Each structure stands twice: as structure tokens, then as C-alpha cells.
Amino acid sequence: MKQEWKGTPMRKFAKILSGASALAVIVPSMALAQDAPTLESLAANDAFVFNTLLFLIGGFLVMWMAAGFAMLEAGFVRTKNVSMQCLKNISLYSVAGLMFWIVGYNLMYGGTPNFFGAWDFTGYEFAAEDVDTGYASYSDWFFQMVFCATTASIVSGTVAERIKFWPFIIFVVFLTGIIYPIVGSWEWGGGFLNSEGFANTFGAEFSDFAGSTLVHSTGGWAALIGALVLGARKGKYVDGKVHPIPGSNMPLATLGVFILWLGWFGFNGASQLAMGTIADADSIAKIFVNTNMAAVAGVIVAVVYTQLRYGKIDLTMALNGALAGLVAITAEPLTPSVPFALMIGGIGSLLACLTVPLLDKFKIDDVVGAIPVHLVAGIFGTLIVPLTNGDASFMAQLMGVLATAVFVSVVSGIIWFALKMTIGLRVSEEDEYVGLDQAEIGVPSYPEFVNS
Amino acid sequence: MKQEWKGTPMRKFAKILSGASALAVIVPSMALAQDAPTLESLAANDAFVFNTLLFLIGGFLVMWMAAGFAMLEAGFVRTKNVSMQCLKNISLYSVAGLMFWIVGYNLMYGGTPNFFGAWDFTGYEFAAEDVDTGYASYSDWFFQMVFCATTASIVSGTVAERIKFWPFIIFVVFLTGIIYPIVGSWEWGGGFLNSEGFANTFGAEFSDFAGSTLVHSTGGWAALIGALVLGARKGKYVDGKVHPIPGSNMPLATLGVFILWLGWFGFNGASQLAMGTIADADSIAKIFVNTNMAAVAGVIVAVVYTQLRYGKIDLTMALNGALAGLVAITAEPLTPSVPFALMIGGIGSLLACLTVPLLDKFKIDDVVGAIPVHLVAGIFGTLIVPLTNGDASFMAQLMGVLATAVFVSVVSGIIWFALKMTIGLRVSEEDEYVGLDQAEIGVPSYPEFVNS
Amino acid sequence: MKQEWKGTPMRKFAKILSGASALAVIVPSMALAQDAPTLESLAANDAFVFNTLLFLIGGFLVMWMAAGFAMLEAGFVRTKNVSMQCLKNISLYSVAGLMFWIVGYNLMYGGTPNFFGAWDFTGYEFAAEDVDTGYASYSDWFFQMVFCATTASIVSGTVAERIKFWPFIIFVVFLTGIIYPIVGSWEWGGGFLNSEGFANTFGAEFSDFAGSTLVHSTGGWAALIGALVLGARKGKYVDGKVHPIPGSNMPLATLGVFILWLGWFGFNGASQLAMGTIADADSIAKIFVNTNMAAVAGVIVAVVYTQLRYGKIDLTMALNGALAGLVAITAEPLTPSVPFALMIGGIGSLLACLTVPLLDKFKIDDVVGAIPVHLVAGIFGTLIVPLTNGDASFMAQLMGVLATAVFVSVVSGIIWFALKMTIGLRVSEEDEYVGLDQAEIGVPSYPEFVNS
């Protein structure tokens, strides 16, 4: 049946309508009514609905990534911290939504910050301005919000198993309300990385299609500084040796990666931001394929690399390889041909594989591998954009990466330190030993499984 | 890139088509072809496809909620009853589909019950009547059916760990074939809650956008009566003390809540029932945001409340808080502004938090907390509708709540009792001790994990 | 609210726009602008976007099935092989994507194999040929690719717990790059099963809507031959007795089935291949309902059958019953009325139930039950097509089944044997005893749960 449609649409209609004899006479006219598509735009109202639908579908897929991070992290921590990791993930998604509503969205897109300004208590305001943008405002807000939440999800994995709940949540308040929106505003909000002056100086505007830098590296820098300020988990680095701490639930982590992979079609695909022309639809389709193929290469490279390097395949690296491939392609999922998408994803994965032992060398304890995946692959993906996108410049990409690095590191460093100096960041040694579930939650993750 | 589209669509097209030099000459005409959207409806055929697509996407998202309930409940019961809980959930979804086809849909929407009437054996009947409604009949049926299944999912959690499989299934047969369809018919089927006479008496028709009462409270009442008739699990209430029975798998329960949260975008969003105008698309987008924000507030309120009240954060309440927020906003996800959506979700969650100890006081053993979440938050959400929807009346809302309460309680009470008196509802004490997996299924949930 | 739309669309618009008083005056004209739908096609550009969107949504739902298989299999194997099963599943999905890009797609649809030909390094090629087909080429490729991956997912479950990783991956290379594309080309690629000569000889062309034979039986035959060549797991068949080996995680397997069920809406629904007419939208809706009802019947039949036959309900058969129902309806999800869909799904499930002990009789060790589900129910579903589709012929269906059986069995037999004779297929007895996780991966699945 699949082939029929391409060549012989008549037969398909005939088949569909075979049971509706009364309609049979009109079938020929139906087929004739189908003109060939053109490159002209859809009618504005159709485009409005398609654009809105794209944001909503993309939005719920990215929202679903919050579950992916939760499962990935719940699988990678020890049983004694699993309930806490679940709590942190559902809480950070909630806080991100709240903060992006209160201040984040306006800070990112509003020109002048307009606290509490976009939505007031007066009720429904569907109106003419919605019409002119070509999409429903709320669908845009929803789609942007889930990106903000993703940034916070990245941090929670790195600092797991030793950070206290409330200081972590306070950091998320700043990250999602202030840090991410400011970085995002530089480019997506029409700020300096997107300005003519920047382009004149560095050869092009900064280019980051769906956020290898703006989302993933921002989360990555915040995570890295957090790990440095927090220090490693007890027992990870002892007497100059690295003691791997295995995650408690590999199928859960695998599920998390599949969820993230699925969600990424929304993350990258809906970042096309429009589906109201056939050119946009075609671009989204290409983005789907490139996104998938980057992850494909990420898995294969990690599997082969760990087999050759360690003699055994490391499942955790295969999983993180998929994610590193996805992060790497995120800066430009549209212009690469498939071979380039494979290369970009594969190299992103390889860099992540190489970064893991490097972090251990510096005793930076990244519980789930978020720094190799989101920061390192994110930087790589951003810098490689000019290879396939002729409108991008390496210098511009580098400047965007550096600006993000400096700003996020400094500001998140200040916040992490302020929290450490005031209410404290880290649980007590005893609490770390018994686990955060018992210390802060009181709900064990698997009360019947573990003999302790 | 995100910002570009708003202001400078030309550049976006230029970028997309940069690799297609042969087409470059037509780019200007493309941009010109895009007129501004208007408030006029789409062409009827486009609207038909959009409406159908909305039902299908919404439908598969709500179908996915069946998996969410399964995971939530599997995580909240003890390991000895996990396989049974999985079996019940996949079975109830199946029975709901069958019963809603045999009798439920016609009972709900058909005026006179038309048993076995909607679909016969004669095959495909695509025809003119599909065209006139503006959507594909099957897509509507699919979307309505998954709502019916949700009602049954709510019950299975409350009565878990002690009810026999077959009596439970028989109850589901009545719930999904008779009880839910009748309640639904009162409002969505154009019955008395939706009548002019009712509106004249109580100030307005009953208003329940996506089913805080019709779906969630109906399930909640059936669950409450079931819990009363069944009695508590052995060991839950002993010598006047409450002995909490911890759930076996917190990350699974967390996954369940994320699935439900995701599915709720379909539950509420597609209850707009149309996507063929930009006004509808805009409404769906607003519903997405309000639905999300109610859950956000639900999580935050439960986290803060349990921290303050108990000194530790209760993960299970954070999870149920999200659900309570979602249930509360379901009666009216369109008219509230975001601040109101937050308030509605937050209060729904708080009420759920307060109900949990209350149930224990009355020795009502609700294994997963479905009564606080679906019944209490559902009632609240229904009663609060007039706050934001000027077309609703508090008295009308109250009457709808009461009518549902009386009807569902009485009818499900009769069925629960009849089952108890005949084939029996509850497993033997010994079976309850060894667990339903061993007693009724013979497939242990985690044969290698538990030392027993 | 649900009912209102059918009868009184005016009230709905009034409600939606009640907060936007400035727009109130135009409401009447909006309602008037909505003409009745007709059977004429949408404008070609709208159809293009709808068709592309169908492929993308269907594609991501089928991609998600890869996660479903991973969870199902991770739940059905013992803890010592869970990490390996996760690794195999994410790897096979990746290899399938790579091979289908390198050679599979062209072999299946290209007439002459065109290695590396479809996509080259020259970048973005959106152009006129995309326009003429009526959908984005990449969206079609994505949708076809995930079908190819499904075929490989079927195999991994059967041969679990004893096959070495790399020989399995090499088999997947051939299966996804050569075997599946060749079988698919016979029908969907316009090959001999789809030819006039075949139709003249056997009464009709072969008919397999979404791949009961082309996908599921192909995977099933490859799995069956693999199981035969590999032999059973140690301890499964000893002294003429069958020793059941229980799966390690039932809720995970249940989750897998729910994921597969969800994904199947994309698998069957988007196999309509077009959404640019209301007839297509209507067909997709009907396919959703039939697909769901076949699974519904599959569950119910398996539950009742195992209750009657064994005195206890077998959860694993209830899960596989859902899948068998889904596989059975896949060959023709459009023409059956709902009662026929129920019968087809129910019989598919029953056949799967009956096949399980039969396999044990022949000492064919199918770890997850993929042969009963995908092969047996797939053959049945294919042969039953003429019952509801008047354009199909039993002889044609039989010939398609036989051609697939012979080709896949022979070619996969050659590959399985060649692998066995060269690098070896099966792990050592010791490795099988300690488990593949320890032997080949070094990452335990649940390091804190199992006392071993």
C-alpha cells in the first residue's frame, strides 16, 4: 500500500471509498481537485493553526523530556537517593514554569524586564495581537517554558546525591528566572549576539538553532560550577583513586534516554518555529532525520569506543553517547546533510567519552555525566555550525560560547557560593551516608528491595 | 533564530532556502503571499482535518494516561501485588473500550440507548454524515472512550491490594458501560444538567469543561464507596493507630505522574473539541498553559506544605499534588488567567494534602490517594468555576456535584454490595498476606529482588 | 461542553470570545464563514503539510516503540541480562537507522540499489521534487526507517540471554540493511507481490496495510531461525521438562506493552500515508479505533483463556495478548468494522496463547514470546484480510506469507549459521551463568537489589 500512493493515488481513493458506494461517482472529481503543491504560503489562518500546533506538539514532547531526565537520574543514583532525585526533578520543572512565568519570559523576550506583566488577573485576552504574530501567544510561551525547564534538569543530575533540597531549589529559581532568560535574550531575544554590531565584528550573528549553547551549555556551566563548589561524593575519590559508584537501575536510565531522544524531535523540530509553508514542513522533516541520525552515531561511537578502549561496552556511555549526539546537533539540525549529522553526533559522543575520565582526573564528580554530554558536546556542536551553515562564522560561534561560559560561570558561581556560605549546600556526612531519601524526604525509593 | 521569525520572516526563508539556489528567485513572492491572519474560519475541509487530528492526538495522549495510572499504582503498592496492579490496569482499559463500544457511547450521546447499534458488521461506512459534523466520527469515539477508561483507572488504585480480580472487572463493566455514560449524558450528552430548565432554576447550565466532576469525581465516588465496602488492608489500622504501608517503587510512581501530566494536555486541550479556527487554536494553547500551571502549583504547594507540616517533604504528596492540581483545573482550564490557574491548582493540592489524614481518621484505606486527588480536588475544581467563568453559577455547579455524588454513590454502592454478597469482593486473609500476585496470577513482579 | 459543539457551534464561539469584547461584533460573520465540508481535496499546500505532519507524528510514535520493546524485554529477562538487553535495544535502533540510510531505503524503494545515493554531502536540497510527491521526502524516510527498526526489535527479545552482542549486531546489520528492505520492496516498493502478473495469477495483489507480514513476520521468522540455531537457554529444558524462567520486572514489561500500544497508533494510523483529504482523516480515525479494539480483544481473550486453562491469569500472556491483537490487525486496520477488529485481535491473541506451549514442546526458547506474537499473529492477520477487504485474495495473501517465510528463513538462516561458524553466536556456558551484563558489559542492571 505504501508504494501505491506515490504512483497511483486513484487506487488509494478507490480503496478507501470502496464501502461507500453512494460516493463512488465523485471519486474522479476528487482526484482532479488535487492540484500540485506550490511554494506559495498557506492561507494565513491555516498557517496560524499549523504554527500553533507545532508549538504545542513540540512543547509536550519537550515537557516529556523532564520525565526523561527524572528517569535517567533516578537510574544513575544509588537507591538511597532515588526518591530525592524524583522529587528534585518534578520540583525543578514546576519551579521553572513558575519562574519563567513570573519573570523569565519577559526578561528573555520583553526588551525591558516586565515583572508579572505579561499575564494579569483579568482573564482571557485572545485578541488581535495574537493574529498578527501568526501563532497563539500561549503556545509560544509553553514551548519556550519547557526549554527553560530543560536547563534546570541538566543541573540536577550533576549535583545529585549530596546537595540539600532547598538550596538546590533556590538555585533553580535563579537559573530559570534570571540566568537562562538573560543568556537566551542575547540571541533569541534579539540581544547583542543577534545584533548587527556583533555580526560586523565577528563575521556573522551567533547561530544556535535550538540551544546547544543557550540551553545545554548554560545548564552545563551551572552544573560544572555547582560540582566544583559542592565537591565530590564521599568515597568517589579516595587516596588518589577513582571509585566508580554504579547507578541503581539501568533500565530506568535507558528509559530516560529513550524519552529524551523522543522529546528531542520536539526540541529541535519545533524550533523551526513555523509549519505554515511547505518549506517549513520540509525543514522540520529534515531536522527530525538529522536529530535522529546524530543520536544514532552517538550510540554507535560510544559502543565501539568503549569496546575498543575498555574491552567491554559501557552501557552508561552508550546512553550518554546518544544524548551527546543529540546535544551536538542541536545548534544546527537543519543545514547538515545526513553524513554531516552523523559526523557531528559521533564526534559529540566521542568527546563526551573522552571527557568522563578527564573529569575524574580533576575530581569533578558529575553523577550522571551531564557535563560531558551537555557542556562539552554543546560547545562542540556550537563551534561546528559554520561547517554546514554558510551564514555562520566560527569567531561568532566562539564568542557566543565564551560569553555564555563567562556569564553563567560567574553568576552561578556567585549563587552557589552565596548558598554555601548562608544556608549551606551540602548535606551532613551522616545524611550523605544514610542517603537523602531518609534524611530529607522520609520516603524510601524501594523499601522492599534493599537490605540495609 | 527564535526571535528572528517574529520580526523578520524574510531572513528565515532566505536561510532555509539558501542551499536551493534554483528556488532563490521565488523567495520574495513567497513572503508576499503570506497575508495577515484574520478571525475568519478555515475552509471547512481544512477544519475537518484539524478537528479530527485534535481528537486523535488528544486521544492517544489520554490513552497514554492508562499507562500513567498503571505505573503510579504499581509504584504505590507492595511488591507482592504489583503484577496484579499491572494486570488490572491493562484489563480495565480493555474492558472500558469494549463496554464503551457496546453500550457506553450510545448511552451517553445517543438519546435513547442503542445497544450494539453504532457500529455493525457491515464494514466501512465513511459517508456524508461524517462530513456534516466537521470531524471524523471515529476520532470522536476514540477521544470519548479514553475518558471513559480514565474513570475506571481512578478506582483501581484505591481498592488495590485486597480486591479480587474478577469482581473488580465486573465493577468496571458497570462503571464504564453504565455509570460513567449516564453521568456524562447529563451534561455532555445534552441531558438535564445541560438543559434550559436546569439553567433557569440554578442560574446557569452545569459547566465542566473536561470532567473534574463527570470523569474524576465519578471515579472518585466509585472508589470511595468501594473502599468503604471493602474495608482497609490488614495491618493498616491496628489498635487505633495508622500504620503507613510504603509503596514499593517510587521512581515508577514518579514516571506515572509525569505520564499523567503529559496526557492531561490531551485531556484538557482536546476537550476544546475543535481546532478549525484560530480562536480554537488559541484556546487550546491557553488550556495547555493553564493545565501545566495548575500542576506546577500543585507540586509546589504539596512540597511546601509537607515540609512545614511534617518537617520532611513527602514525595508521594508532591506527586499527588501535581495530580490534584490537574484535576482541579480540569473543570475550567480555559477562562482562568494564569494566576488563577495557579491558585486553583494550588488549592486543589492543599485540599488533597489535608484529606489524606482525614481518610485515615475514618479508616478509609485509599492505597494510592485517588480520593483526595480525584474526588476532593475534582469537587473543588467544579465549584470554583464561576470565579473565572462568568457564564457559570455556583448553585448549578453544586447541583451537578451533588447529582453525581448521589447517583454514583448509590449505584456503585449497590454494585459493590451485590458483588460482595454474591461472588465476594475481597481475597482471603491468607491470600492478602501472600499477595495477589501469588494468589491470583502466579507471576511474581520482581522474582529476584525480594527476600520472602 | 462536549455536546454543545455538535449542535450549537454559535454558543461555543460566544463562550470562547466572551472575554474579548472588542471582537464580539465579528462573531456572527465567523460562524457564517464556516461552510459545510465537502469531499473535495484540501488545497495542495495544506495537504502537503498535513501529509508531512502525519509522517512525523506517526514516525515519532513508532520510534517510541523502540523504547517499548526495550522495556518489555528488560522486564522479561533475568536481572543478570537486563543491562545487555537495554544495550541491544538502543544499539539495534541505531544500527537500523544507519543501515536504512546507507542502503535499506534505496533497496526498498529505489528500483536499483543506490548505495549512499539518496543523501550526499552537498547539503540541503529542498526542491521541486519534494513538492510533487505531496509530502516532505525526509518525513517519509523517517517513517519508513522506524518500521525497519521495529523488525530488528522483534528479534532481540527471542534470542536474549545467550547471544553475544557483536554477532547480534552483525545480524541486525543484514536484517535492516538487506533482508527487511528486500521483503518490503516486493510489496511497498512495487515489486512482484504488488505486480499485475501476481494479481492475475493469484486473484489480487498481496495486501498488507502496515506490515503484519512485511514487518512483524519478517522479524518473527528471523527470530525463529535464530532461536533454532542458538538453542535454548541452559536450564530451560532439562530431562524433558520445561522450567519456566520468570522475567525480572513485570511493571517494566507492562510499561513496554503500553508504549507499544501507544506507538501502534502511529504504526497503523500513519500507514494511511496521507492526511490531506477528509477521507484520509476519516480513515486514520477508523484505523485508530480498530487498532485499539484489536488490542482490547487481545487482552481480554488472553485473560479469560489463561484463567480457564491454567486456573490463574497469566500477566505475561495478557501483555502478549495485547501485542498479538495489534499484530493481527496490522495487515488490515481499515476495512474491518469494529466487531471484526475485535474478532481479529482476539483470535490473534488466542493463537499466540496456543503457540507458547507448542514452542516449548519443540524446545524453541523464545524469551519474550516474540514468535507467537509477531510471527503467528502476523501470519493470521495477513491471511484474514480477505474477510473484510474485498480487494484481497486468500491465495495472494498465502503466497505473500510463503514468499516471506522462505526468503527470510533461508537468508537469515545462512547469516545465523555463518556467524555461528565464524565468530560464534553464543556466549560461553560460564558467561551465560554469570549473565551477559557481567560478561560483556560490566555494568550491572540493579547492583543494589540482587543478592548473588
pLDDT at A102: 86
Same domain, A22 and A130: no
How many B/C residue pairs have CB atoms within 8 Å?
282
In a domain, A254, yes or no: yes
Task: Compute and round to an integer the Cα radius of gyration of chain A.
Answer: 24
B126: nearest CA partner in chain A? A20
For residue A159, the SS3 value is coil
Of C240, C36, C70, C80, residue with least CA distance to C156: C70
* Average pLDDT estimate for A30-39: 51
Tell if the CB–CB gap between C286 and B71 is shorter than 8 Å.
no
- Write the ipTM: 0.92
Neighbours of chain C (3+ CB pairs under 8 A): A, B
Number of domains composing chain A: 2
Tell me the three cell numbers of residue A173: 529559581
Per-residue CA distances from A397 to A213, A308, A378, A393, C69 (Å): 9, 33, 12, 6, 40
Check residue A58 and give its pLDDT. 98
Q: What is the pLDDT of residue C451?
A: 56
Which H or E element spans position B242?
strand B241-242
CB atoms within 10 A of CB C422: 10
Q: For residue A243, give the CATH number of its domain.
A: 1.10.3430.10
- Cβ-Cβ pairs closer than 8 A, A with B, add up to 281
The candidate with the shortest Cα–Cα distance to C385, out of C168, C121, C203, is C203
pLDDT at A27 over 70: no
Testing the interface with B: which of C12, C18, C77, C288 to mutate, by most B Cβ within 10 A? C288
Give the distance from residue B107's alpha carbon to the nearest chain A alpha carbon, in angstroms.
27
- Range from A10-24, B27-41, C322-336 carrying the lowest mean pLDDT: A10-24
Higher pLDDT, C41 or A273: A273
Q: How far is C130 from chain A (nearest CA, A)?
A: 8
Residues B281 and B427 in one domain: yes
Band (C25; pLDDT cuts 50, 70, 90): very low
Residue range B33-44: average pLDDT? 66
Q: Which residues of C31-57 are buried (b: 16+ CB within 10 A; e: fewer)?
A: eebbeebbbbbbbbbbbbbbbbbbbbb
B359, pLDDT greater than 70: yes
Rounded to whole angstroms, what are the CA distances from B43 to A421, B125, C33? 63, 24, 8
| pLDDT > 70? residue C136 | yes
Tell whether the model's pLDDT for residue B55 goes beyond 80: yes
- The answer on C50 and C15 residing in a single domain is no
Q: A215: closest CA among A278, A292, A132, A271?
A: A271
The answer on pLDDT for B252 being more than 70 is yes
- With CB atoms and an 8 Å threshold, state whether B279 touches C2: no
Scored b (16 or more CB within 10 A) or e, B1-32 reads bbbbbeeebeebbebbbbbbeebeeebeebee
Quick one: how far is CA B253 from the chain centroid? 16
**Chain C CB contacts of B187 below 8 Å:** 1-3
Indicate if A13 and A106 belong to the same structural domain: no
* Percent of chain C surpassing pLDDT 70: 86
pLDDT at C127: 52
Interface of A with B in 60-119 (CB under 8 A): 60, 63-64, 66-67, 70-71, 74-75, 82-84, 86-87, 89-91, 93-95, 97-98, 101, 109, 119
Give the pLDDT of residue B105: 87
Mean pLDDT, chain B, as a whole number?
88
Length of chain C: 452
> What's the CA gap between C408 and C115, in Å, rounded?
22
Residue of A65, C280, A327, C69 whose CA lies nearest to B45: C280
Confidence grade of residue B392 (pLDDT, cut at 50, 70, 90): very high
Rounded Cα distance between B242 and B363, Å, is 8
Domain span including residue C14: 2-34
A449 inside domain: no
3-class SS of residue B219: helix
- Is A366 among the domain residues? yes
Question: Do residue A29 and residue A90 come from a single domain?
Answer: no
Question: Residue B105 phi/psi, 5° resolution?
Answer: -60, -45
pLDDT at C103: 86
Q: Does residue A206 sit in the same domain as residue A329?
A: yes
Can you tell me the distance from the alpha carbon of C314 to that of C309, in angstroms, rounded to the nearest whole number?
10
Asked if residue A300 and residue A229 are part of one domain, the reply reads: yes
Quote the pTM value: 0.93
The pLDDT value recorded for residue A76 is 98
d(CA B332, nearest CA chain C) in Å: 11
Structural contact between residues A38 and C45, judged by C-beta atoms closer than 8 angstroms: yes
Question: Does C1 contact B209 at a Cβ distance shorter than 8 Å?
Answer: yes
B136 has a chain C CB within 8 A of its CB: yes
A448 lies in some domain: no
Are A24 and A49 in the same domain?
A: no
Residues of chain A positioned with their CB less than 8 A from the CB of B316: 443
- What number is the average pLDDT over the span B104-117? 64
CA distance B407 to B183: 8
Mutate to test the interface with B, among A15, A26, A39 (most CBs of B within 10 A): A39
| pLDDT given at position A106 | 83
Span B313-321, mean pLDDT? 97
Confidence check: pLDDT of A247 > 90:
yes
Q: Which has the minimum average pLDDT: A1-15, A164-178, C324-338?
A: A1-15
Q: With an 8 Å Cβ cutoff, are B443 and C250 in contact?
A: yes
- Predicted confidence (pLDDT) at residue A210 exceeds the cutoff of 70: yes
- For residues B219 and A338, the model is more confident at B219
Residues in chain B: 452
d(CA C301, CA A407): 61
pLDDT of amino acid A241: 93
Q: How many CB atoms lie within 10 A of CB B35?
A: 11
Residue-level pLDDT at A103: 86
Whether C450 maps to a domain, the answer reads no
Within-domain flag for B446: no
Do C179 and C287 lie in a common domain? yes
B187 lies in the same domain as B129: yes
Q: Which residues, other chains included, contact B379 with Cβ-Cβ below 8 Å and sequence gap of 6+?
A: B212, B213, B217, B401
> In this structure, are B109 and B18 located in the same domain?
no
Indicate yes or no: CB of A50 within 8 angstroms of CB of C52: no
Q: Which of B68, B419, B78 is nearest to B252 (CA)?
A: B68
B450 inside domain: no
Using alpha carbons, list the distances in angstroms from residue B250 to A227, A252, A292, B79: 26, 12, 31, 12
**1-20 in chain C: CB under 8 A from chain A:** 16-20
In terms of domains, do C21 and C100 share one? no
- Is the pLDDT at C23 greater than 90, yes or no? no
Please compute, for residue C49, the number of CA atoms within 13 A of its CA located in the half-sphere on the CB side. 30
**Of A25, A26, A41, which to mutate for an interface test with B (greatest number of B Cβ within 10 Å)?**
A41
